[in-house]
Structure 1
Amino acid sequence: MPTTTQLEHLLREAALRVTRPRVAVLAAVYEHPHADTDAIIGVVRTQLGEVSHQAVYDVLRALTAADLVRRIQPSGSVARYESRVGDNHHHVVCRTCGAIADVDCAVSATPCLTASDDHGFAIDEAEVTYWGVCPACSTTTAAITAR
């Protein structure tokens, strides 16, 4: 987790003004990878007190546009945010509880960016989502089934 000074530096490097809401939202995303907006709002409110939903949405939009955070939205899920940007990683999502984890690319630096037919597109990003059941839900399901 970066310090407040490091978060302020990231904002300045991205040509964003340093404000308390921006620092708080960026810290929340670092502290809670794959959190949705409501969870981020809850974390920010514990730090700053009352802050509007719109303010957090606006900060998340600015941080995403500046490539300081990444917005992901697995099928059937609300948008989620993570601080891991600038690399080619994917996600695994639990079909039962919705837990999300990062998955590094299996082979080489960017194998998913080499499409079998790019149809003339200049491809710069690929999204792969793995779906399954997390260990906690697998254990719960197994325990229920064994009864």
Structure 2
Amino acid sequence: MDILEAPERLRAAGLRVTVQRVAVLDALTTRPHASADTVYSGLRENLSGVALPTVHGILGDLTNAGIVRRVSLPDAASALYEVQHEFDNHHHLQCVECGRVEDVACAVGEAPCLHPSHDHGMRIIEASVTYRAICSDCERNK
């Protein structure tokens, strides 16, 4: 998502366009899988008056509106966020050493791409997979 697309996505979701919301979306576009603290650290230099609770509130609003996806991964100190793209069906690859996170396309099929052996009468709406690995940088540093 580019900075020109952000206001359009906000309006389409019924959210008011603010400088702070556009800045948060821009931050997540340039740094996917960022925590609220990381987004805040990047914004406070260029956006005076923004507070960490404001960033948390914006991320919550964007998540509830379906513009941003909250990603909870094992060993991550806090929730991570990424911009949600239409028809996006991917999983995550996480380094168990440094915590680096990368997107991995769904292995097979359409969302949800995993089907459990038994659905217990529930309609599956999402499948989440985290591949845990050691990235090449961490492997070299061992």
Q: Distance in 2 between the 1:84 and 1:134 partners?
A: 25
| Percent of aligned pairs sharing the same letter | 43
Q: Distance in 2 between the 1:14 and 1:104 partners?
A: 26
Q: Distance in 1 between the 2:95 and 2:8 partners?
A: 35
The answer to whether the 8 Å contact 2:66/2:84 transfers is no
The SS at the match of 2:26 is: helix
Q: Which residue of 2 aligns with 1:10?
A: 9
How much has 1:111 moved relative to structure 2?
5.7
Runs of 5+ unmatched residues, structure 1 = 142-147
Instruction: Give the TM-score of the pair, scaled to structure 2.
Output: 0.92
- Structure 2 matches for 1:1-147, cutoff 5 A? 1-3=1-3, 5-77=4-76, 78-86=78-86, 87-110=88-111, 112-141=113-142
Q: Distance in 2 between the 1:53 and 1:38 partners?
A: 7
User: How many residues were matched structurally?
Assistant: 140
Instruction: Give the TM-score of the pair, scaled to structure 1.
Output: 0.89
Residues 44 and 50 of structure 1: CA distance in aligned 2, closer, same or farther (over 3 Å): same
The answer to whether the 8 Å contact 2:28/2:81 transfers is yes
The answer to whether the 8 Å contact 1:95/1:131 transfers is yes
The SS at the match of 1:33 is: coil
Q: Distance in 1 between the 2:10 and 2:44 partners?
A: 20
The answer to whether the 8 Å contact 1:113/1:123 transfers is no
The answer to whether the 8 Å contact 1:70/1:85 transfers is no
Deviation readout 1:40-63 (Å, 9 max, x if unpaired): 001121221231111100000000
Q: Distance in 1 between the 2:50 and 2:63 partners?
A: 19
Largest Rg, 1 or 2: 1
Residues 57 and 111 of structure 1: CA distance in aligned 2, closer, same or farther (over 3 Å): closer
More helix by share: 1
